Structures are given as structure tokens and as C-alpha cells.
A and B are shown apart, each in its own frame.
With several copies, the nearest count.
Chain A
Amino acid sequence: MNASDTRDWMRRFFAAFDREQQALTDLDRRSGDGDFGANLRFALGRARTALENTASATPGDVLDTVATAFLHTGGTSGPLFGMWFRQLAKATRAETIGVAELARGFADATATVQRLGGARPGDKTMVDAMVPASEALAGASGSLDEALDAAAAAARSGAEATADLLAKRGRASYVGEVARGVLDPGAVTVALLVEAARTR
């Protein structure tokens, strides 16, 4: 995966978010304060523009540009996704990267989000999709495509599982049982992101 592949990844992610934005906002409305979609739209809009105006030599350069856009964004998801991308970028500064770099990057990035946000798996947050994706990459032995398939499936099932959880972190924790049955929008976004990494 080189810089151009990474740009394609991000483009597919932007497109997937555009499709799902309304649904994500609705999820945050039912469990939080309803601004998730707007926060993400601001960040991705800024990322899109920045990528158009920035040359990037490595996947890390691309991911760092996206990180900066998120770190310019409010809410809880802005800074946490920002630090996730920023940490991933640090591990992907080679011209071409493979499963090993991605796996280390996902692991570091997820650890950073957990350290900063204090959420553990099962708390009904983005972490519930990040951790299984990271573990799938770490355990992958085949091709990049196979590894990404596994990671995408893991992220998606992690996101799906948030429906049954009771939130312990973030705004959803204020509403308690009311949000039972509602997917966590942050976790769903992680699933969209990892799914977008696949090229087939």
C-alpha cells in the first residue's frame, strides 16, 4: 500500500460516510447529542480539501493530513479519531507498507485512543470496533487483501455488538438503558473506515 493507495482508501471512506451520515447522526441523537454526523462531516470536508492541496510521499503523509483535519474538529470523536490517524501515520512513513506496518499502526493508534479516552472494550465506544480490527491485523498471516478482509469483518462485528452494550464512557453513558439496542456511531464509523481499506 503506497501513498496513492492510501488516498484511494480515504476517498472510499469519505464516500461511505456520505452515504451513512444521516444514519450516524440518528444514532448519536438516540444515544448522545446528535452532532456526530456534523462533527465528522466537518473533519472529512477539511481532510478532503487538505488532501487535494498536499503532496504526500508515504501512506503516513496521507494519514497525517487526515489526522490534522480531525484534530481541528470539536466533539469527542474529532480529537480521538485525530489521534488515531496521527498514531497510525507514525507507523506508516515508508513508501510502501504491508500488513506488519498496518498491524503495528492499528495497535498503537488504538492504544492511544484508549489511553486518552479511558474507554475499555465493552464500554460502547469506537474502541469496540478498533480493538477487534487491530487484533485481526495482528493475527493475519496471508496477503494484505486477506488481512484487510479479516480486519473489516472484525470491525463490523465489533460495531454490531455495541447494540447490546450499556455505555460507560462518553455522552451515551448519561442516558443509560435508553441507548440499549442502539449502535454506537463511533464504532460504526470505524467499521466503515476499515471496510473502505479493502480494494476488492
Chain B
Amino acid sequence: MTRRQFVNDPDHVVPEALEGLVLAHPGLLRLHPDPAYVTRAKPAPGKVAVVSGGGSGHEPLHTGFVGAGMLDAAVPGAVFASPTALQVAAATTAVDTGQGVLQIVKNYTGDVLNFRIAAEIATDHGTAVDQILVDDDLASERADGEGPGRRGTAAVVVVEKLCGALAEQGADLPELVRFGRALVADARSMGIALAAGAHPGDRAPAWELADDEVELGVGIHGERGIGQRAFAPAEELTAELLGRLVAALGLDRGDGVLVVVNSLGATHGLELALVHRAVHRQLAGRGIDVARSLVGPYVTSLDMAGLSITLVRADDARVALWDAPVRTPALTW
């Protein structure tokens, strides 16, 4: 079956969507059109600013997380492509109020390169910048440590939430970096797809699956995963992902975790909730406590049918930061 989307010119999807997003949240967001980035409508002085960004197509990431308690700016690239160095540099210098800027970067070559360059440019302009590299995707980890390493996926939401809260509380840049890097080291994700997504304007999904297969370890840019496995009930697919995540983090009886059950795009809330139940019960069966969880579309891959599960080791400080108030288009409490 042909895939279609609500699109005008495929080349204008991102700027049109940015305009539409900010029109929906005039009290929260401000759009800077060229170079394009989004900031809070009401800048927060006297704190380290937190900036993230990356390719579009993952909405609500990152623009949906701009607001009090989370990001100060988000920098969207084209669909699945890094924002440019100057976009990131412009956002970085714009939100600096003298306390410096924390950049949260997902581990992809283009993002890493452009954020590094942006940091150098912003530093030249007198802004103190440091970075946290988010690399949580188990699927792209190689035993020999070669290659580009684990990709950055849904754990970035937890990093943005917790670092955002810590920044709001007045932490300085070195403390934020220390906290954020330890957090990333304790975070792992893995995704599974039932059907690939399609680029805006494309009539066909990026790839096809046999009727009895699912794609394991998919990324969020339409790449295929690390292999196929048999389609199976949700309990079994959940167990497949959870087993790997628990092993990778070395979780044990008595440990607590933060959980994200994330829709990759087209997977329905009923399915997500049902998988969340399975995660809860399976972790309980291993004596692992779910301290908090997020269930919904947070880091999507266009209209891919699939989901990812993220586990992050929890401790009291992290739970307190999770619970701290947040007020953004896509996350508010």
C-alpha cells in the first residue's frame, strides 16, 4: 500500500512545521527563522542554558522539549540531517546569559561534528560551552569498541529532562557535565519495528519486512536494525529487548530504573500501554523497581510502526530531578 503524508513541498516540511508548532505554543516558544532555532518565549536568566538539536522527523524531540525545566533552545536540522554548525552556534550564543551553555548531543557523526564546531565558534564569541554526548542505543554497540559506537536515541529525553531540572536549580556547567555523563553511562535503549517509516513526500516506506518478521535494533533514521526475528506476542518481544537492556546495565535485584516506552511514530497508545505493563511485570519479576516511567511518542522516526524501550539506573537524586516541574509543549508536570 502506498504511503502518503500531509505535505506541501517536501523541501519545506521542516520550516512549515516549525512555524505551525510555535503558533500552537506562543506562550512557550519563540521561533528564530534564519538560522533556524527555537527558544523559550521567556528566557531564563541566571542559569546555565541547555541546548540540544539534531535532525527533524523525531518530533516531539527536540523542539517539543523547550521550556522551563528542560531546554533553553532546540536546533532542528532537515529531516534526519544534522542542523548546521552556524544554526547551533547561533542558538548557543543566543541563550547564554553569562553562565555558559550545556549542549546535549546525540551520537551521530554529523551532529557531533556540527555541535563541536558550534561550540568552538560560540567559545570564540566568549560563551563557555561544554557537551554531553548521548549514546544509549545498544543495537549499534560493537564488542570490539570499533565503529561510531552506540547511537543516541530515546535516552536523550531523560538526559534533557534531568539536566534541564538540574540547571534550573542553579548547577554550574562542570557539575551539569559530570551529572549528565554519569547519567548517559547508566542509560541504554533498544528499538524494534513492525514497519518502516516513509520520508515526507515519499510514496514507499524505507524498507519492507516479511509478514512474519520484525526488525530488531532499528535506529531512528530509517536505517534497518541488526537483524530480523519472528513476530511474536508483545510479552515476548518486550522480553527480547528487556533481557538485553538489563544485561547491558548489569541490573540486579533491588535496583531501580527510569523507563521510557517510546513510540517510533505510528504505534498506538493502547499498544504502548500494554507493552509498558509487560515491562513493569517483567522487571518486577527480576526484582527491579520501576521508579518512574514515560509512555508515549517522544523520539519518533517519522511514521515508523515500532517502539523502543529505554532503561536508566535510578537513584534518589535522579528521581527528584525527574519529578521537578517542567513546562514544555510535549512534557509538562
Contact = CB atoms under 8 A, between A and B. Distances in A.
B133 interface: no
A71 B117 contact: yes
B109 interface: yes
Interface stretch (B81-89, B95-103, B249-257, B275-283): B81-89
Contacts of B120: 83
A68 to B, nearest CB: 7
Contacts of A68: 86
Q: List the 6 shortest-distance A-B pairs measured between CB atoms, nearest first.
A: A71-B86, A71-B85, A79-B85, A72-B86, A79-B117, A72-B84
Interface in B2-36: 35
B114 interface: yes
Given A79-B114, A82-B117, A72 B35 contact: yes
Nearest to A86: B121
Contacts of A75: 110
29 contacts: A68-B86, A71-B84, A71-B85, A71-B86, A71-B89, A71-B117, A72-B35, A72-B84, A72-B86, A72-B87, A73-B84, A74-B77, A74-B78, A74-B81, A74-B82, A74-B110, A75-B110, A76-B113, A78-B84, A79-B114, A80-B113, A82-B85, A82-B117, A83-B85, A83-B117, A83-B120, A116-B113, A116-B116, A116-B117
A117 interface: yes
A76 B112 CA distance: 11
Contacts of B81: 74
Contacts of A71: 84-86, 89, 117, 121
Contacts of A72: 35, 84, 86-87
Choose among B35, B78, B81, B86 the residue with the greatest number of A CB atoms under 10 Å from its CB. Answer: B86
A178 to B, nearest CB: 18
Interface of A: 68, 71-76, 78-80, 82-83, 116-117
A3 B246 CA distance: 60
A74 B84 contact: yes
B81 to A, nearest CB: 5
A76 B78 contact: no
A127 to B, nearest CB: 14
Contacts of A83: 85, 117, 120
A38 to B, nearest CB: 12
Contacts of B89: 71
A71 B118 CA distance: 9
Interface in B116-136: 116-117, 120-121
A112 to B, nearest CB: 9
